[in-house]
Amino acid sequence: MGKITNEMVEKSFEIGKKFYKNKISLKDGIKVLTEIGMNENSAVDYVYNYSNLIQGKLFTRTTNIYGTEYSLQKIYEENGIDRLQNALLSLSQHIDYYEEKSGSSVKKRKEVYNRYLKLINQKPEKTIYPDEVDSETEYSEGKTKKVLVNSYERNPIARKKCIEHFGLNCQVCNFNFEEKFGVLGKKFIHFHHKIDIATIGNEYSVNPLTDLIPVCPNCHSMLHKKKPAYSIEELKIIMK
């Protein structure tokens, strides 16, 4: 396979954008890229990369470091902070997925991610969560699932989008930490992943508005008292 040049990366970004907006077919886009020397399989990966990044979806095939940084910068310049957040959600899922599947670190890609994370004034979440997976339960590819899901619940951008949608009150008992503890409790809340971890594949892409929901630590623990976990509605009924 020939080297993927910066020219190929930049052209694939433009093709990917046109493909996402239905302005060019995948076949025609791939033809343009192969004519400048790009491998057909790589061309497909790079074209789809734009669609995944702009929507915040997991992508499983990797791009080179220049391609990663170029895409983030262009998305930020052309679409602003909101779409950059989507792109970082996509990249963070990819990093978790790739490291678990390959068993190797992607240090440079993490550096790019953290640099753009600082650009939107976010930082990694250090909240302590209850164990999401019973250590005595065996799952197919369970380690990968646990890492992907738990990492996503702590993702600062996913948290931000979820809070913007639901607010900071527990969606089960309505408890608000800032109201009770003042400054100490400001912006504190847990996030529950609503999809049963045993039912998802390691290529599952998470949506912070439909798959995550803010809950207090007590309710979070109670949701996981059975497997699969109680739903929010079920726990509300139990409380009554």
pLDDT tens, residue by residue, 195-238: 876 666 666 777 888 889 999 999 999 998 988 889 999 999 99
Assigned token pair, 18 = 């046109």
What pLDDT score does 30 carry? 96
More confident residue, 106 or 154: 106
State pTM to two decimals: 0.75
Q: Which residue has the tokens 């790009």?
A: 38
**CA 155 – CA 166 distance, rounded (Å):** 16
Strand, coil or helix: 125: coil
pLDDT one-digit tens code per residue, 191-200: 998 887 666 6
Strand, coil or helix: 193: strand
For the chain, give the number of residues. 240
Residues forming beta bridges with residue 190, ordered by sequence position = 215
What pLDDT score does 152 carry? 66
Q: 10 — phi, psi (to 5°)?
A: -65, -40
Distances (CA, A) of 62 to 21, 26, 126: 22, 19, 27
pLDDT one-digit tens code per residue, 21-55: 999 999 999 999 999 999 999 999 999 999 999 99
What pLDDT score does 139 carry? 38
**CA 49 – CA 71 distance, rounded (Å):** 9
